[in-house]
Amino acid sequence: MPATVIDGKSLAASLRATLKRTVDALAARGVRPGLAAILAGDDPASRVYVRNKARACAETGVHSEVHEFAQEVCENALLERIARLNADRAVHGILVQLPLPRQLDAGRLLAALAPAKDVDGFHAANLGLLLQGRPGVVPGTPAGVMRLLEHAGVPLAGRHAVIVGRSNIVGKPLALLLLQKDATVTICHSKTADLACVTRQADILVAAAGRPKLIGAAMVKAGACVIDVGVNRLADGKIAGDVDFNAVKEVAGWITPVPGGVGPMTVAMLIVNTVRAAELSIA
Ligand code: NAD
């Protein structure tokens, strides 16, 4: 039997509708959540991502502003803007759209964000809280993956979760969230020997490598839940994930599509984090 397709697009839409009600309730108390995006350079994908985030803000009633800088911008100009936004009471969340132009040090810029406004959850303070299992801001993509798993009713406790990819923004934080739910977690990466041997053991397999069709049907255990985080632009301009969707859906128990899976959830969770930051600012 083919896999159940987990529909991230509709789950994200219902989450945005819920968020709109929370935002309206906050507005009645005189607070409008606000998100500032810093966009430096002319990476076309970054422009699309920032536009999608602004659209989700508009739909949920969140104030949004985009702070654009030229490709050649110097780090001090961005640090000054971050300091100003940190102090701006109308701004509850700040995100620095990655990747940044080469002359800029992403680590230094992220460290300059007020942790309470770091709605991407990439600041070391928030990643540290996540490591310790304490409340903080959780990065949107791994948080979105957890919501998708919960929504689909995928059992996690005692199950083997295998994540392909060890980035600070996806693989590592997701491993911590799955551990919190009592999964047994393995992280694979580009130096993993015999990747297929590991992925075939997964009850939950998450692909976050940025390699189209990396995960084929022979790498998936029958009935496993396969979550595709990958976003790859193919030569024909189409977007594809890391999973060979048509082949794997015949083997897996659940699968997420690309587009329409993890991507919309990432954006929705960013709004969740922004609204939460606004709530905490008046708590
Ligand atoms: P990254 O480049 O920082 O990390 C990629 C990871 O994959 C690395 O740890 C690397 O070791 C591993 N890897 C690469 N090739 C591999 C291989 N052949 N076998 C095993 N492991 C391999 O990337 P990232 O920022 O974590 O993003 C990963 C993918 O997820 C990209 O396609 C990115 O566009 C996508 N992404 C999607 C969303 C979303 O909202 N859907 C959000 C963030 C990232």
Residue 68 CB: number of other CB atoms within 10 A? 13
How many CB atoms neighbour CB 263 within 10 A?
Answer: 24
Residues flanking ligand 1, CB < 6 Å: 141, 164-167, 169-171, 188-190, 192, 195, 208-211, 214, 229-232, 262-263, 266
User: Does a cis peptide bond (omega within 30 degrees of 0) precede residue 259?
Assistant: yes
pLDDT score, position 1:
82
pLDDT of residue 172: 98
Q: Where are the domains of the chain?
A: 30-114, 140-263
Catalytic residue among 7, 24, 103, 120: 120
- Give CATH for domain 140-263: 3.40.50.720
CA of 164 to the centre of ligand 1 (A): 8
The label of the residue with tokens 């759209």 reads 97
Exposure pattern of 146-155 as b/e (b: 16+ CB <10 Å)? bbbbebbebe
One fold for both 30-114 and 140-263?
A: yes
109 neighbors 78 (Cβ within 8 angstroms): yes
Q: Please say if 120 is a catalytic residue.
A: yes
Q: Residue 84, Cβ neighbours under 10 Å: how many?
A: 12
Q: Which CATH number fits domain 30-114: 3.40.190.10, 1.20.120.530, 3.40.50.10860, 3.30.70.1140?
A: 3.40.50.10860
The stretches in the chain having pLDDT less than 70 are none
Distance, in Å, from the CA atom of 254 to the CA atom of 25, rounded to the nearest integer, reads 36
The residue written with tokens 């130096």 in the block is 191
Structure tokens at 232: 């790859």
Tens of pLDDT, residue by residue over 136-189, are: 999 999 999 999 999 999 999 999 999 999 999 999 999 999 999 999 999 999
Looking at residue 283, its pLDDT comes to 87
Model-level pTM? 0.98
pLDDT number for residue 34 = 98
